[in-house]
Amino acid sequence: MSPARKESKEEQQFEAWCIEAQEHGLVELYKCQPRTFGLIEAKTVKVLKQLKTKSRLVDRHICRAHTYTPDFEIQLSEKGMELLASILEPSTLVKDYCLYQRIYIDTKGSFTIQHGQSQMFSCNRKLMYERHSIWVAKVVPAKFFMKTWCPERYRWKQNRKVPTPTKMGGMCRTAEEFIYAEKLHKGSLQ
């Protein structure tokens, strides 16, 4: 993360998931805010500017450039592709993605007060695909954890004398349970 930008709660939750996925061999590497992509160039027009003794053509800005930075880039391992393929958005696992096993992810909350965020993300996602042939997966950590597992960091309530699971921690599997269940389901349990 860049020091100027504060991580959201959802980004922190997904990063904890990435750390555990890497420990279990599902993710080879992950990067937070991997790079910024240019989506639309700045637009200018030439206008005639009157100086004291002469006129000169100058550029006037109509609008600034529009850029987008995904929250995460993850590179899945072979094991990760096998176990997570049905859970991640199918559109992220098209042929190009399978070759590189690299997926760009934007984390979102399950409820946002700023309703414009979802429309902005939708436009950014379409522009990313149009300009860079990259489809950005949208991940809502609370829903994603229900399909996969809840990271240990968010499984237990803090500062309790008796270990008490969080609401999410009580409803979700552990990483080991997820891997075992998926291997059993796919018939590749050894």
Q: How confident is the model at residue 2, as a pLDDT?
A: 45
Q: What pLDDT was estimated at residue 133?
A: 84
Contact assessment for residue 122 and residue 113, using Cβ atoms and an 8 Å cutoff = no
Phi, psi of 188 (to 5 degrees): -110, 20
φ, ψ of residue 152 to 5 degrees: the values are -55, -35
The separation between CA 133 and the C-alpha centre of its own chain, rounded to angstroms, equals 16
Local structure of 135: helix, strand or coil: coil
Cβ proximity of 155 and 173 under 8 Å: no
pTM value is 0.81
| 3-class secondary-structure state, position 174 | coil
Tens-level pLDDT at each residue, the chain (190 residues): 445 567 889 999 999 999 999 999 999 999 999 999 999 999 999 998 888 888 899 999 899 999 999 999 999 888 888 888 778 766 555 555 555 578 899 998 876 655 566 788 989 999 998 998 888 888 999 899 999 999 998 988 888 888 888 888 888 888 898 888 887 877 755 5
